[in-house]
Chains A and B, each alone.
Chain A
Amino acid sequence: LDDNRYVDLENISGKLNYYFQCKSLLGFLFCLEYRVVQHCHLFPRALGEVVGRYNIQELHISLTEGLWRHEAWGYPVHEAPPGAEIWTWFKEGTQDIDTTWKELTGALSGLLCASLNFIDASNSLNPEFTFRPAGVVSSAQQMNSSLLRYATLPREIVCTENLTPWKKLLPCDAKKGLSTLLNAGHIHNTNYHSLALHLRPVCRDTACSKMSVELRQTVSLVYDMVILGSGNQDWSIKKLFGIGLSGACPLATMSNIYIDVTTNETGTPFQLSPNPPAIISSTRGGYESKFAVYDVKALNISGMFNIAAVYGSSKVYAVNLPPVLYANRYIIGYGQEYGGIVTKIHNGHWKPLDVIYLENIPWFIPVYLHTLKIVANGKEIQPLFKKYIPGKARSRPYYLEVALRLPARSTTEISIEFDYVFLKWQEYPPDANHGFYIGAAVITSLLPTGRNYTGLPQDGSTITSSFNASREGYLVQLRTETLIITLPTPDFSMPYNVICLACTVVALAFGPLHNITTKRLRLKDSESQTSLFKWLKLNLRFFSKSKEKQS
């Protein structure tokens, strides 16, 4: 049984922008051989069973609150859209993938206490180009996108009930190690927090004779020091997490804390205390960065361990240098008849960039492909290729994937128009006037430079592997904003009014109608008339007749 577990924490502070005072990423990773899932030692058994039962090759789940603002924060280590996102590669030869997919999301929903059970064929896609297997692929057949399922739940709200089951998947739970830092009260006070699970097959040696399954659990947090701080930029582990560190998880083979100290030389200088045992420098894609490393296992912590950063001078706001590629998305038009979705992609590179744009539009927002317009710097450009599968009400979302070449230093607008439609009255969610969510678009590109890039290379699993990892390109998969639109919503108190009105009308109309339709008019014998009224009537008739005779 070969298992190793690896825990790390990265703290990148004051990088690039005043707004983004501090972002931190906790990554937990453990590998094990797939065959031993049945008697797993460190691998969470609950997840292992799900993986084995549903024939899963790869699984990526993220639960996120808040939006990663690329323009100000650079690229994250793991991209995640607001809400929940899940994409899965099934193994070759899996029968009836749609059913398996539905069952899988149901099981995961229970495992993570998230509403993943609302995912089914009506909101999932199998994009052909955007998502590739992140792990080792045994055959070319495995690359077939029919084995892939992708879905997002933009309305999902992530909170403590997701954090607790997520922590339970860790070998030390939240009892020991870096995971003790994850206190719900503090990490949900951030501007962005994202929990993720990434499961993929990896090679155990360079010859790839043996395969393992790797599970990476990550949490990304972005703190806003303007809200958190008392007027200064200083931070410490205790200030961010509310608690100090009490030591490493004994099951971990490695437990490190990395702090990006590059800005110490270029931006506002700060002093780390205690002094870092080691500083390593990494050159990646032409950009050099420096990290202070604390090896938690070697620290021999007794009591609580805290790392603090103290800034010397008062606030210095560096000019924000946005990353090479970033995007914004928004709804255009007002009224409740026509609208449009516009995605603006900014390419700050000096060369053209190839991107793939994946649009995932729910079935209740019918878009028109002929209105798809791609305008770069005021000139309309033709996409390299596009793939479109129209949606179908209640069974299939609109799928649009466009590959395009963004001109150098350009802003490209991709716009598509849609109609507002009425839904069936039971299809409106609770708080229907809140609006309906449209999931994030995914923009995939291979960046030529490593500026603002902190993602892990495909062949690596940990932060360590991203050091000095210069490659030909750096894969980014930007997730844009989710959107909210107000579909025409009926007044839901109206049925009540209608019922009241209809009942009154029916009650009033029923009596006379029933009378007219069921009773037959018939002559009666005059002898049988005995009552006073009838007697009067008879006499009156007689009186009038006599009057007629007189005239």
Chain B
Amino acid sequence: MGLLTDPGAGRGKLTQLLVTYHNKLCILLYVGGVAWFLILAHDNFNAGTYFSENALLPGLVKGEFDKEALAKTYQSELLDEAARYPDGVPYSWLLAKFRQINLDVYTHNFTLNYPLGLGTEYTGKNVYAILRAPRSSSTEALVLSVPYRPPTSVHPGTVPSIAIMLALAKFFRRQKYWAKDVIFLVTEHEQLGIQAWLEAYHKATSGRSGVLDHGDMMGRGGAIQAAINLELHAEKIMFILMLKYKGLNGQLPNLDLVTLVHRMCSKEGVRHTFKNRENGNYRDTFKEWLHSFKTLMAMVSTQATGVPNGNHGLFHRAFMFSLFAFSSAFFKNGKGNTALYFQIGRVLEGLFRSLNNLLERFHQSYFFYLLPATDRYISIGMYMPPLGLLCAGLVIKAFALWLKMQEDPTKRNDSDKEDSDMKSENSGSEKKGAGNFSLVPVGMTVLATHTLGIILLSSPQALSVVVSRIWYVNRYFNIPGIFYLDSKHAHSSIILPQI
């Protein structure tokens, strides 16, 4: 503070140098920051992932899942069943299957009063089954969720994931080691379903009340510790498990959970990718770096949008830190092993057993990180210095301008003569001088930016009314649904930045 208040400060040689060369320095710092960030993708500058939470004990026990034949049966049954309900969910089939496995089965109804446009009302219904843990008294729970998509949906279907979920449920039910309830959840209407289910589970409404009526639910299973969202699209053979884990507003799951999934995939020999990119395996250092860097940039660019890339994203809000979407994708040059129900079942079994081992909820490892590969990470401590360099330019620039304002005009005139390249910058402040500095233009700028912000914030509502008057809102449920969620969370994120 002495620097800002002491009139004598800023006359030193060092500060004079700063004032003289601050432009060059700012450019140097900026370039340095970018360069630093670029080299972070190189293996020598980031670290291999490891488990902070020892309780996870990943892959310590041998996988026992052997119900792949059953999963195939479920799949063919469900395909037949789904064909009978081209627009809906085959509830009776799902309920019957869960009941046959001896689980507590419940349904959950929700309503969306569509806030944009003409106020249409949509309803949905989720199905969930709870496996009551024999070793505890329902104080904690894990969630395995699958979005159901009818055959007419614009998104690829998820029938295989429901098949594997049912087979897993059947397998899990006969195990005696469960210490946390396992909730098997089939949601309707993509993210709306999961959002409504979570809101009903916690009886909390986020965003504007009265928009999403989350309804009530009968069965609960304690505090949700972790959740896995499963999406398998391919009908016959899965090539790759693609992992996604970006949450709402760029929230990430605990790094331990990310590591756990990748480690389980490696253990079962399932090819896994991050951002649809497998780990590179190049001899050339530059190519290796370029591959990692592209993966890293893919993560950074999706992080920047703040929109969750799957149903898992919404779980993060509820302090259930963790969610992944598995997804099958045909890799461009998809050679090598193919993963079948057997391997995927084993991966999920190992995953849930590890989560079941957890004594404390995820808190050990990083929540802020960047991933250049599936098994490497850049922690916040490593990516903050380049960011600091990028920002340092701004601070130095501001500081230099401040110092110039402090100088008295007479002296500045002298120095102007000596220093010609500073002349043009000083001319603006010279006219006003240090004494008659006016707050009006600054105030106007601040006011204008704030007004613009408020207008932008409230524009979706107003624009939608205008647009819907002209053009009737399309009937497809999913697309406006997602848009609605995005605009809603933009609101809530401003009010509650912590969640």
Contact = CB atoms under 8 A, between A and B. Distances in A.
B132 interface: yes
Given A191-B134, A226-B102, A434-B360, A483 B139 contact: yes
A167 to B, nearest CB: 22
A334 B204 contact: yes
A407 interface: no
A485 B134 contact: no
Interface of A: 18-19, 65-67, 69, 72, 82-83, 189-191, 224, 226-227, 317, 328, 330-336, 340, 342, 431-435, 437, 481-486, 489, 491
A486 B203 contact: no
Given A66-B137, A328-B219, 17 more contacts: A66-B135, A72-B104, A82-B137, A83-B137, A189-B176, A190-B134, A226-B102, A331-B202, A331-B223, A332-B203, A334-B319, A335-B496, A481-B139, A481-B222, A484-B140, A485-B223, A486-B361
B317 interface: yes
Lowest 4 A-B CB distances belong to which pairs? A433-B360, A82-B137, A67-B137, A332-B203
Contacts, number: 86
B21 to A, nearest CB: 30
B360 A431 contact: yes
A327 to B, nearest CB: 12
A340 B174 contact: no
Contacts of B499: 334-335
Given A433-B361, A434-B359, A484-B222, A69 B132 contact: yes
A437 to B, nearest CB: 7
A449 B26 CA distance: 83
B319 A336 contact: yes
Contacts of A82: 137, 139
Interface string B134-149: 1111111000000000
A226 B100 CA distance: 11
B235 to A, nearest CB: 31
B253 to A, nearest CB: 16
Contacts of B135: 65-66
Nearest to A335: B499
22 contacts: A19-B104, A66-B136, A66-B137, A72-B104, A82-B139, A190-B134, A226-B102, A332-B202, A334-B204, A334-B318, A335-B319, A336-B319, A342-B203, A433-B363, A434-B359, A434-B361, A435-B223, A481-B139, A482-B137, A483-B139, A486-B223, A491-B363
Interface in B352-370: 359-361, 363
A63 B140 CA distance: 20
B107 to A, nearest CB: 16
Contacts of A190: 134
B233 interface: no
A546 to B, nearest CB: 25
A486 B134 contact: no
A227 B174 contact: yes
B261 to A, nearest CB: 21
* Chain B interface size, under 10 / 10 to 19 / 20 to 34 / 35 or more: 20 to 34
Nearest to A317: B99
B294 interface: no
Given A226-B173, A317-B99, A435 B361 contact: yes
Given A328-B220, A332-B202, A431-B359, A67 B138 contact: yes
B410 interface: no
A224 B178 CA distance: 13
Given A82-B137, A226-B102, A227-B175, A330 B220 contact: yes
B465 to A, nearest CB: 32
Contacts of B209: none
A72 B102 CA distance: 12
B134 A227 contact: yes
Contacts of B360: 431-434
Given A226-B173, A226-B174, A340 B99 contact: no
Contacts of A336: 319
Interface string B354-388: 00000111010000000000000000000000000
Nearest to A18: B102
A82 B139 CA distance: 10
Contacts of A72: 104
Interface in B447-474: none
Nearest to A83: B137
Interface in B187-221: 202-204, 219-220
A488 to B, nearest CB: 11
B132 A482 contact: no
B223 A333 contact: no
Interface in B464-499: 496, 498-499
A485 B498 CA distance: 18
A333 B138 contact: no
Contact of B102 (A19, A482, A489): A19
A66 B176 CA distance: 13
Contacts of A65: 135, 137
A335 B496 CA distance: 10
B202 A333 contact: yes
A433 to B, nearest CB: 4
A458 B227 CA distance: 47
Interface in B131-188: 132, 134-140, 173-176
Nearest to A229: B174
